[in-house]
Chain A
Amino acid sequence: MILSALAFYLFAGIAVLSGLMVITARNPVHSVLFLILAFFNAAGLFVLLGAEFLAMILVVVYVGAVAVLFLFVVMMLDINFAALRRGIRQHLALGLAVGIVLLAELVIVVGAWAVAPEVAAHTAPIVNSAVTATNTQALGAILYTRYIYAFEGSGLILLVAMIGAIVLTHRARAGVRRQVISKQISRSRAETIEVVKVPTGHGI
């Protein structure tokens, strides 16, 4: 019990601190690295909650894809971060006010949370928690049975997104040299090598 409480404070503390570092670090590359640290700690929090599938997804998708994409953007594009940061002092008060309002709203929502009795009457849990061993298995079991229609539909949407990206950006460029292996190995010596007799004292 005490161990999990300690682990919670460790993960939560590091997550908050690295979140702060993301916005205060001078070097944008460091910001992205702190963001990755924050993701890892959030994944740790998910593990503590018993949501190991979400933890894995967080690491795979956010650390593996999104954060690396950010890193690419930061390193490849020449963005002047110092210029972006310039106005921070005069906007600080406004930003803090917005942040405090958001925090207050969140506290109010969480504090006043109540489920309407008529709603609770007809929402039964979809997953039978006694049967399934891990939540990966439980999610898979409903994703491929109960929600198969939505799942396959989403697959089609992603396929269309891929086709769309190709249609709108792909160009068959002229003058690109492609390797054609069959052509390479079917060449005979006679058509590639030419023996030229060069008289002494002359160029070709």
Chain B
Amino acid sequence: MMPVPDLIPALPELFLAVAAMVLMMVGVFRADRTSAVVSWLAVLALIVDLVLINRGPLARTVTFNGMFVTEQFAIFMKSLIVVGSAVSIVMARQYNERNRVDRFEFPILILFATIGMQAMVSANDLISLYIGLELQSLSLYVLAAFKRDTVRSTEAGLKYFVLGALSSGMLLFGASLIYGFAGSTNFDQLAKVLSSEAGLGSIGLIIGVVFLSVGLAFKCSAVPFHMWTPDVYEGAPTPVTGFFAVAPKIAALSLFLRVMIEPFGHLVHQWQQIIWAISLASMVLGAYAAISQSNIKRLMAYSSIGHVGYALIGLAAGSAEGVRGVMVYLAVYLVMNLGAFSVILCMERRGESVEEISDLAGLSKSQPMTAAALAIFMFSMAGVPPLAGFVPKFIVFMAAVHAGLIWLAVLGILASVVGCYYYIRVVKLMYFDTPAEALDPTAGGNAVRFVTAVTAVIILLFILIPGPLLATAEAAAASLFQG
């Protein structure tokens, strides 16, 4: 008989899985106001989960026969994901009620997606990687089509499903090639095989890694695997889009980091060129394609493609400094995006949601505080110095320069200058254009307005006390390189 595996490192995932199933029972058997009760209990479960994650072992711990790993890197990324999920549930409350899609399955699907994302972050085996990825993706396909009575939402769900299945196929193809040529699916074992001369020369293994990175690039919507992003972001209900923009991106990027650094760290010269090209293409396309957008959700989609490009610079550097840059980038990206989507959720006119950028014209007159907050988010996303968005960009560019990728850094800075145009266009629209008909001043509700205020303050004041985040990220990045 084999002994029972050590369950303590996976306690947050186990807790969340049990909580999700209990909440499902609550949802089914409770008669009235089910959705509100389940939502708030789900937020509570995520808070408990956050505590459990941060009380977990700091040192690298492997359990479930090498399938599951946790260390400071996992703790950092999981904390970001859980915060993103919890805030998304809170922000979705009023929107779901107003649009008559207020069903208790919504928070439950977000919980399941969160479990999948945590499993992705902690994957230490190609099998557990795939299972985490599918659990996350499947929940997200359903969430994209959650507003099932509108054509756009169902279209978004179907498109995401078909293209996601395609990318999963590519990922599995790569995984099977890797297993065939290295003889193992375990990350530690793969790293051991690749540390020898014989393992490095295998061309089949490299093709496998290429396919695996295609699948991962698709999941974090890096160019040229980004085609689904604008359509899905536009079609999905706005709170779901906000969720898509933060948590799954963080999960996919941290999986990308772990896969490239841990098992395939010895192949760095092979994958560095791929990441270099993907990163540059994402930054450039994110900057140029966003210029002609008129829908704010599509704009955010292209913006997120661009941000993934910047974050991937840190991976292309392949150093602990670069990984630290990615982690800080994701933390700041989380706050900026939650803030921006909280403002988008407040865009209503006569009780109807509006999504055009031109609807924001003259927002500074009707709602000066909201306009100021959105301006802060936009300037921060553009990377204007005193705001939070500048710091991670600076770190990843410095990491690229230190790793000798000077051209990537230069082109990245140029792309970010182009990107400034469309971010600042939104600000110009709000402050200097002829006002459109005023948006509802109370739309969105108190919870969403509260999120706007808190995120804006964090972005504004981050530069004063960046120390704790940078230090945590540094320790977490170092923990990824020990294994």
Given A118-B193, A167-B146, A168-B145, A153:B119 Cβ within 8 A = yes
A-B pairs with beta carbons under 8 Å apart, 16 shown? A116-B183, A118-B193, A118-B196, A119-B183, A123-B183, A123-B184, A145-B5, A146-B2, A146-B65, A150-B128, A156-B17, A156-B112, A160-B139, A163-B105, A167-B105, A168-B145
Q: Interface of A with B (CB < 8 Å)? A: 116, 118-120, 122-123, 141, 145-150, 152-154, 156-157, 159-161, 163-164, 166-168
Q: B131, B181, B183: which contacts A150 (Cβ < 8 A)? A: B131
**Nearest A residue (CB) for B202:** A116
Q: Interface of B with A (CB < 8 Å)? A: 1-2, 5, 10, 17, 21, 24, 64-65, 67-68, 103, 105, 108-109, 112, 115-116, 119, 127-128, 131-132, 134-135, 138-139, 141-142, 145-146, 148, 157, 181-184, 189, 192-193, 196, 198-199
Contacts of A159 in B (CB 8 A): 21, 112
Shortest Cβ-Cβ A-B pairs, 6 listed:
A119-B183, A164-B142, A153-B131, A149-B64, A145-B2, A149-B67
Q: Report how far A141 CA is from B64 CA in the complex, Å.
A: 14
A140: min CB distance to chain B, Å: 12
Q: Assess whether B135 is in contact with A116, with CB atoms less than 8 Å apart.
A: no
Of the candidates B1, B21, B135, B157, the one having the most CB atoms from chain A within 10 angstroms of its own CB is: B135
Q: Report how far A147 CA is from B64 CA in the complex, Å.
A: 7
Given A118-B199, A154-B131, A160:B109 Cβ within 8 A = yes
Q: Assess whether B184 is in contact with A122, with CB atoms less than 8 Å apart.
A: yes
Instruction: Please give 15 more A-B residue pairs, beta carbons under 8 A apart, in addition to A160-B112, A168-B142.
Output: A116-B181, A118-B198, A122-B183, A147-B67, A149-B131, A150-B67, A150-B131, A153-B119, A157-B134, A160-B138, A163-B142, A164-B109, A167-B148, A168-B145, A168-B148
Given A116-B181, A167-B142, A153:B128 Cβ within 8 A = yes
Q: Assess whether A149 is in contact with B68, with CB atoms less than 8 Å apart.
A: yes
A112: min CB distance to chain B, Å: 14
**Nearest B residue (CB) for A119:** B183
Contacts of B68 in A (CB 8 A): 149
Q: Report how far A125 CA is from B148 CA in the complex, Å.
A: 48
Contacts of B193 in A (CB 8 A): 118, 122
Grouping DSSP codes into helix (H, G, I), strand (E, B) and loop, the B interface class, with mixed when no group exceeds half, is helix
Q: Report how far A109 CA is from B460 CA in the complex, Å.
A: 62
Given A120-B183, A153-B119, A163:B199 Cβ within 8 A = no
**Nearest B residue (CB) for A150:** B127
Contacts of B1 in A (CB 8 A): 145
Given A119-B183, A156-B115, A167-B103, A148:B138 Cβ within 8 A = no
Q: Assess whether A164 is in contact with B141, with CB atoms less than 8 Å apart.
A: yes
Given A146-B65, A149-B64, A160:B119 Cβ within 8 A = no
Contacts of A157 in B (CB 8 A): 131, 134-135, 138
**Nearest B residue (CB) for A158:** B138
Q: Assess whether B128 is in contact with A149, with CB atoms less than 8 Å apart.
A: yes
Q: A118, A153, A160: which contacts B132 (Cβ < 8 A)? A: A153
Of the candidates A150, A160, A167, the one having the most CB atoms from chain B within 10 angstroms of its own CB is: A160
**Nearest A residue (CB) for B21:** A159
Q: Report how far A145 CA is from B65 CA in the complex, Å.
A: 9
Q: Report how far A157 CA is from B136 CA in the complex, Å.
A: 9
Contacts of B115 in A (CB 8 A): 156
Contacts of A116 in B (CB 8 A): 181, 183
Contacts of A168 in B (CB 8 A): 142, 145, 148, 157
Contacts of A161 in B (CB 8 A): 138
B448: min CB distance to chain A, Å: 24
Q: Report how far A4 CA is from B157 CA in the complex, Å.
A: 52
**Nearest B residue (CB) for A167:** B105
Q: Report how far A123 CA is from B185 CA in the complex, Å.
A: 11
B189: min CB distance to chain A, Å: 7
Of the candidates A118, A147, A166, the one having the most CB atoms from chain B within 10 angstroms of its own CB is: A118
Contacts of B134 in A (CB 8 A): 157
Q: Report how far A123 CA is from B183 CA in the complex, Å.
A: 6
